[in-house]
Structure 1
């Protein structure tokens, strides 16, 4: 029986419950508020329960980041799929979702991209999740190349160039540097579309820019 203040959980659900609790703590309090003890408290389990699945805080952070990357990729992927036959619209729609994710979830974005986790030594599952987010950009680039509207240059080169611009805008907005231009979510979306359209012109074939 759980002690006072704790909730029972089904076998196999503990890991997921702990990750969800950790995600919520980061969203509400930031990384400074996260500890295995606090995660246990929020999840309603004993303070030793997290050690059944996570050796330390770093392992828990990696698991939370994996969920964050999946959410980011899912949102951008759904936006891309709404424009199946138009790589240009795919690029803008997916990019805007990337920007919105960073603005809506700045603390989670900081975990994913702020150097908190060393991706060189990260668990394989986390590397795969982070790579999936980048591969979405590559997929859109390849769609545009096959359609004959994007420059016939190295896919990685184009993907890194455009992704850097998208990520940079998200960071500037979430950091409060563009508060006059992006005070509301609607303004963020408008600004995002404008910047993404400009980035798009850099990878379009010359005759597609006319």
Structure 2
């Protein structure tokens, strides 16, 4: 289910409806204009209704970020699972999906990674959701090490190094710095694959480098 998926509101769906309404508002207007009152209006409920689930705006943002991380991990995970027998293809597919997520949802990506939320003090559920995204990278790296195609180095080192490159590319594209190279989604995919394949050469064992 997309974070922007809208279904008719009924009793018991208030929290989900508010998160969906707020997520859509963030992508349209950014974080500055977001308030619980505006979210309530967009969701079609009373201005006091959000307080049944969220203490304040920061609490709502944490819930939105959690759903965003879950969606990112789900989409990248599905891309990786299409290539269960090939860690290299897993790496490229999941990485490109990560880049596409950032390009398709730039303001959501900013909420997740732009320092809006202090992850040191974030709710436990949000920390777990963000960690799951990184664990997907670690899983792919471990698959490659077990298959004997990735360098036999600390998994954390390899995951942080590659993730930094992938994330940096997503940020550059979203920020408009590569507009000539990534004007369309197809160009984004092509550029993403090229960069990811170059990153991949850095973690392949010497006899597997092309």
Given the two structures, how large is their TM-score scaled by the length of structure 2? 0.95
Which has the larger Rg? 1
* 1:121-200 equivalent positions in 2, closer than 5 A: 121-200=121-200
Cα distance in structure 1, aligned partners of 2:23 and 2:122: 18
The count of corresponding residues between Structure 1 and Structure 2 is 203
* 1:36-115 equivalent positions in 2, closer than 5 A: 36-115=36-115
Cα distance in structure 1, aligned partners of 2:35 and 2:114: 19
- Deviation track 1:98-148 (CA, whole Å, cap 9, x = no partner) reads 000001100000000000000000000000000000000000000000000
Aligned-pair distance for 1:34?
Answer: 1.0
Q: Give the SS at the match of 1:33.
A: coil
Aligned-pair distance for 1:62?
Answer: 0.2
Cα distance in structure 2, aligned partners of 1:122 and 1:151: 34
Aligned-pair distance for 1:9?
Answer: 4.3
Cα distance in structure 1, aligned partners of 2:125 and 2:12: 19
Aligned-pair distance for 1:28?
Answer: 1.2
Task: Specify every segment of 5 or more residues in structure 1 that has no aligned partner in the other structure, as ranges.
Answer: 1-7
Task: Specify every segment of 5 or more residues in structure 2 that has no aligned partner in the other structure, as ranges.
Answer: 1-7
Cα distance in structure 2, aligned partners of 1:146 and 1:53: 44
- Deviation track 1:32-65 (CA, whole Å, cap 9, x = no partner) reads 1211001000000000110111000000000000
